[in-house]
């Protein structure tokens, strides 16, 4: 049995048991341990496999789980402790969490992770998570670090996934760091839709640019699972549950006001339709995201690559003079990708900037300005026969209306 399957199997067994004797026992002196509790994810020198988990529940209960399996496959540590005795309700939450975590770890380390890998982070009653899983099956070493931290109604989600194939001499590093601001209670009423499908689509598009298409799909799933973990939460201000699966209509919504949506809105003379124009802005809390991936090979550089991408959104409202008020939203995406191709290096850069500004007069939508600028640049360095390719798109739209709605 593969060692990562043993870790998953232990998690599954724990999920089926009643955990009634987990209370942390007080100690007068610190316990000495010859081995580090956590594997250093920046090194490939660890042996054996295991899991370290620190979990905070909505009830305030703090739980720690440590599993360690030696290189021979024997269990050397299995410890589950909590601050106080777990209630039946907390036991059920923990069991459900461990069951989902078991499947997620197993699938990811077998290369079958999907866009729902981090669903375990969004279970009801689960607050902060600090997770470290490490595996050494003799030839392949992998580590996964995952952290979710709540900030009021805001949130921070970070993950890093490392893999080292000793036989092929390949090391891979994949990371993301995602944050969203606390959401105001009135934000949905003001800005409208809360779909994050546009973000998932942009990640899919960016990862399709990789030379290794199979690797691109793996990364798209890994990064998108982080986005889902960031946004798929219950909004306390609106009692609005953002489900993981968007409806067909929501899946087509742009993360702001696309050119097509703008044209459609303003070609309709129906006053009731116009009253909702300002709601084409995205109601997601403002966010900042960074993604990175890298591959290094020891015997050849042909498969090496580096990828960095960032996506952000900022929204604002202001009240001006003469009964005027303003509403703005800006989004920015940048991707930088480099890959080794024989004696040359391929470079690809993609930037996209969007801005939307609504002006209201006496409570009615008076005008809307939308701007989009997109630039794609690619070149093959070291190849004299190859030139630079550049694609540039820019568009500005201004629309005007009377009594089109109110804040």
Q: Is the pLDDT of residue 278 over 50?
A: no
Q: Are residues 365 and 358 in contact, defined by beta-carbon separation less than 8 angstroms?
A: yes
Q: Is the pLDDT of residue 28 over 90?
A: no
Q: What is the pLDDT of residue 23?
A: 57
pLDDT: which is higher, 364 or 119: 119
Mean pLDDT of 150-179: 88
Task: List, in order, residues 6 or more apart from 185 with CB less than 8 Å away.
Answer: 237, 238
Mean pLDDT of 193-198: 78
**Which residue has 């209670």 as its token pair?**
185
pLDDT: which is higher, 407 or 47: 47
pLDDT: which is higher, 112 or 256: 112
- Reported confidence tier of residue 393, pLDDT bands at 50, 70, 90: confident
Report the 10 Å Cβ neighbour count for 184. Answer: 17
What is the average pLDDT value for the chain, to the nearest integer? 76
Q: Are residues 69 and 48 in contact, defined by beta-carbon separation less than 8 angstroms?
A: yes
pLDDT: which is higher, 341 or 223: 223
Mean pLDDT of 186-206: 76
Report the 10 Å Cβ neighbour count for 243. Answer: 8
Q: Is the pLDDT of residue 10 over 80?
A: no
Report the 10 Å Cβ neighbour count for 263. Answer: 11
pLDDT: which is higher, 273 or 316: 316
Task: List, in order, residues 6 or more apart from 306 with CB less than 8 Å away.
Answer: 292, 293, 294, 336, 337, 338, 339
The DSSP symbol for 303 reads T
pLDDT per residue over 289-306, tens digit each? 999 999 998 877 677 999
Mean pLDDT of 209-217: 93
- Reported confidence tier of residue 390, pLDDT bands at 50, 70, 90: confident
Q: Name, of 195-199, 218-222, 264-268, 361-365, the range with top average pLDDT.
A: 218-222
Q: Is the pLDDT of residue 399 over 60?
A: yes
Q: Is the pLDDT of residue 316 over 80?
A: yes
Q: What is the pLDDT of residue 21?
A: 58
- Reported confidence tier of residue 276, pLDDT bands at 50, 70, 90: very low
Among 185, 205, 202, 176, smallest CA distance to 353 is for: 202
Q: Is the pLDDT of residue 33 over 70?
A: no
Give percent of the chain with pLDDT exceeding 90.
Answer: 35
């Amino acid at each position: 049995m593969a060692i990562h399957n043993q870790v998953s199997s232990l998690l599954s067994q724990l999920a089926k048991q009643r955990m009634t004797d987990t209370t942390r026992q007080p100690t007068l002196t610190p316990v000495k341990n010859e081995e580090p509790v956590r594997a250093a994810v920046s090194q490939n020198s660890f042996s054996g496999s295991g899991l370290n988990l620190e979990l905070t529940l909505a009830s305030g209960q703090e739980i720690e789980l440590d599993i360690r399996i030696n290189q021979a496959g024997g269990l050397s540590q299995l410890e589950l402790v909590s601050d106080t005795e777990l209630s039946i309700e907390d036991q059920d939450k923990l069991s459900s969490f461990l069951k989902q975590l078991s499947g997620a770890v197993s699938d990811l380390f077998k290369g079958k992770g999907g866009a729902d890998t981090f669903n375990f982070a969004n279970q009801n009653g689960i607050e902060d998570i600090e997770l470290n899983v490490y595996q050494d099956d003799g030839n392949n070493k992998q580590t996964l670090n995952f952290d979710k931290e709540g900030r009021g109604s805001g949130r921070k989600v970070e993950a890093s996934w490392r893999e080292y194939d000793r036989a092929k001499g390949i090391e891979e590093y994949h990371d993301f760091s995602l944050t969203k601001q606390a959401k105001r209670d009135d934000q949905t009423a003001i800005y409208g839709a809360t779909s994050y499908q546009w973000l998932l689509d942009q990640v899919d598009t960016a990862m399709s640019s990789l030379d290794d298409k199979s690797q691109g799909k793996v990364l798209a799933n890994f990064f998108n699972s982080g986005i889902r973990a960031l946004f798929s939460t219950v909004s306390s201000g609106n009692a609005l549950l953002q489900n993981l699966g968007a409806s067909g209509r929501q899946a087509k919504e742009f993360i702001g006001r696309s050119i097509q949506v703008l044209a459609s809105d303003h070609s309709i003379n129906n006053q009731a339709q116009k009253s909702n124009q300002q709601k084409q802005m995205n109601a997601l809390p403002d966010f900042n995201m960074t993604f990175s991936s890298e591959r290094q090979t020891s015997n050849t550089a042909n498969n090496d690559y580096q990828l960095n991408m960032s996506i952000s959104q900022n929204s604002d409202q202001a009240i001006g003079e003469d009964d005027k008020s303003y509403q703005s939203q800006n989004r920015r995406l940048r991707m930088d990708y480099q890959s080794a191709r024989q004696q040359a290096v391929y470079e690809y850069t993609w930037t996209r900037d969007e801005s939307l500004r609504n002006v209201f007069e006496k409570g009615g939508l008076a005008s809307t300005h939308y701007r989009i600028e997109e630039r794609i640049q690619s070149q093959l360095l070291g190849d004299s026969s190859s030139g630079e390719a550049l694609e540039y798109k820019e568009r500005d739209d201004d629309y005007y209306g009377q009594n089109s709605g109110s804040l």
